[in-house]
Amino acid sequence: MLDRIRASIPALPPAEQRVAKLVLADPRSFASLPVSELAERSHVSKPTVVRFCRSVGYDGLADFKLKLAGNVNEGVPFVHRSVDEDDKPADVIVKVIDNAVSALLKYRNDAASHAFERAIVALAAAGKAGRRIEFYGVGNSGIVAQDAQHKFFRLGVNTAAVSDGHVQVMSATMLQPGDCAVIISNSGRSRDLLDAADIARRKGATTILITASGSPLAQTAQGSNQILLACDHPEDYDRYSPMVSRLLHLIVIDILTTAVALRLPGELRPMLQEIKRNLRAKRYTQPPA
């Protein structure tokens, strides 16, 4: 909703633009203040506030404030940002899925394709040359690192996932130019990962950082061999379990895996086909003929 308001500002009359800017500056207060105070703060008339609400697609001020309150509520702290205490299971299903879909669609529109291109080129080059590709993460991001290693090792590349801080330091110390360290962090503030990224850079490896833009880890992406794949989302990592952020990180890994597989040598696909055939032989039941 806030993104839509932000995008609509250039098309609004100047007075309604002032109302839009008030909404964006403090949406929580806007949802609770009376129309007279909203008009006063925006330096417009009360009818202008109502006209603004209709200009951006709502029935009026009451409808706009109701929808806005639903967008900016804080959810249930430490559980999920989109649900309420009294939600029924059907409400939880819709809210959790809608929240995830919204974040994924926003990321689709915001993702920097040039950064992905650089990361894909570096990973494919490392895979072709038999260099090391290391995935570092701690906590929930460590699980994403394991998923990444599981996907990449099937491509026949030299890869590992490391979630222990001490082992990350040892692993990063052994990296060389041509190797890649993919560092995954929701907050971008983990001291272990910052240390591992610093060591990997000093060893001449390419570092690919999957984290929030503006975080301490993201700010280390300065040189030509440091690549930031920014994953921004509305989930406060101090208040909520990582749900949307985890899905975004997994999507990034899927994008990298798919694109790198397309760039590796042609004999890779028969090997992947053989892996699938051998896995089918491990099943206890076979599909019908």
Q: Tell me the per-residue pLDDT of 192-215, one tens digit each, with 9 for 90 and over.
A: 999 999 999 999 999 999 999 889
- The pLDDT of residue 238: 59
Q: Which helix (H) or strand (E) holds 136?
A: strand 132-136
- The pLDDT of residue 265: 79
Q: Tell me the per-residue pLDDT of 219-235, one tens digit each, with 9 for 90 and over.
A: 999 888 999 999 987 66
- For 250, residues 6+ apart whose C-beta sits below 8 A from its C-beta are 144, 147
Could you give the angle at which helices 191-202 and 165-173 cross, rounded to 10 degrees? 10
CA angle 136, 137, 139 (to 5 degrees): 155
Read off the DSSP letter of residue 243: S
- Report CA-CA distances (Å) from 196 to 184, 192, 199, 203: 11, 6, 5, 11
CA dist., res. 195 & res. 42, Å (int) = 47
The domains found in the chain, sorted by start residue, are: 1-73 (1.10.10.10), 112-271 (3.40.50.10490)
Q: How many CB atoms lie within 10 A of CB 150?
A: 14
Backbone angles phi, psi at 111, to 5 degrees: -60, 135
Which residue stretches of the chain have pLDDT < 70? 70-84, 234-241, 284-289
Instruction: Look up residue 219 and give its two tokens.
Output: 């700010």
Q: Please give the model's pTM, rounded to 2 decimal places.
A: 0.72
Backbone angles phi, psi at 92, to 5 degrees: -60, -45
Give the neighbor-by-neighbor strand order of the sheet with 206-211.
158-162, 132-136, 180-184, 206-211, 226-230
